[in-house]
Amino acid sequence: MSVSRIVTTRRHPARRPRRAPRDRVPGAVDVALAEFAALRGEIDNLASAHRATMGLNITVVVALAGFVLTNHADPHLILALPPASGAIGLVYQWYVLHAKKIGDYINEHLRPMLVEHTGDDRVLGWEHQLRTTVYPTVGSNLSGRLSYLLLFPAVPVVSLAAAVPLLDSGWYVAAWVVGAALSATQITIWARQARSWVCWT
């Protein structure tokens, strides 16, 4: 005679995640400082990228212009300069604008929170000083804005003017129009930046 055994299985309730002890939970200041460190690292990366972009633009301009002038190559090649330099310039502008937005976030969100928690209005003061002391100063960042103007929009504009007599084909006209559109976009963005970042009077 066989005895059947009924095996019952117990279901264990799902374990809830344990809360970390209060002394291990990062406070608002710790979180803000960690976020600040990450954002500053991103700004550093953007600064390196925009310096590399500027170097790339100089290389493209010198190489293409030098090839046309010294090797007596087809002058229509100069029409490649405005679109190439224009596209590189827009990438450069994106790096600059993104870095500024990060700085605005630090100044408008992280800094007030840290000031409130620490009671010291000097914490993370650089972004605040830029906007209250440096930028309102007459001629602030003027050299940087003018150097950008010479390195990026100025070269394509001169190339566009020099290429007008070479527009003897629909493809050349199309290349000229693309270069003109990119250059106009660059100048518009530059003018808006210069208006907000440079004190002219």
State the Cα–Cα distance between residues 103 and 131, nearest whole angstrom. Answer: 10
User: Torsions phi, psi of 186, nearest 5?
Assistant: -60, -50
* Helix, strand, coil tally for the chain in percent (to 5): 75, 0, 25
3-state class of 138 per DSSP? strand
This prediction's pTM: 0.72
Tell me the domain boundaries of the chain: 27-197
Predicted local distance difference test score (pLDDT) of residue 4 = 45
Predicted local distance difference test score (pLDDT) of residue 45 = 93
Identify residue 83 by its one-letter amino acid code: P
Which DSSP string do the residues of 63-119 spell out, in sequence order?
HHHHHHHHTT--GGGGGGHHHHHHHHHHHHHHHHHHHHHHHHHIIIIIHHHHHHHHS
Tokens standing for residue 99: 């870095």
Predicted local distance difference test score (pLDDT) of residue 41 = 92
Question: Which of 85, 81, 88, 84 has its CA nearest to residue 166?
Answer: 81
Q: Which residue has the higher pLDDT, 71 or 55?
A: 55
Q: State pLDDT tens for residues 15-50.
A: 554 444 444 445 778 888 899 999 999 999 998 998
State the Cα–Cα distance between residues 152 and 35, nearest whole angstrom. Answer: 33
Q: How many CB atoms are located within 10 Å of the residue 87 CB?
A: 16
State the Cα–Cα distance between residues 79 and 55, nearest whole angstrom. Answer: 20
Predicted local distance difference test score (pLDDT) of residue 7 = 44
Q: State pLDDT tens for residues 114-125.
A: 888 888 888 888
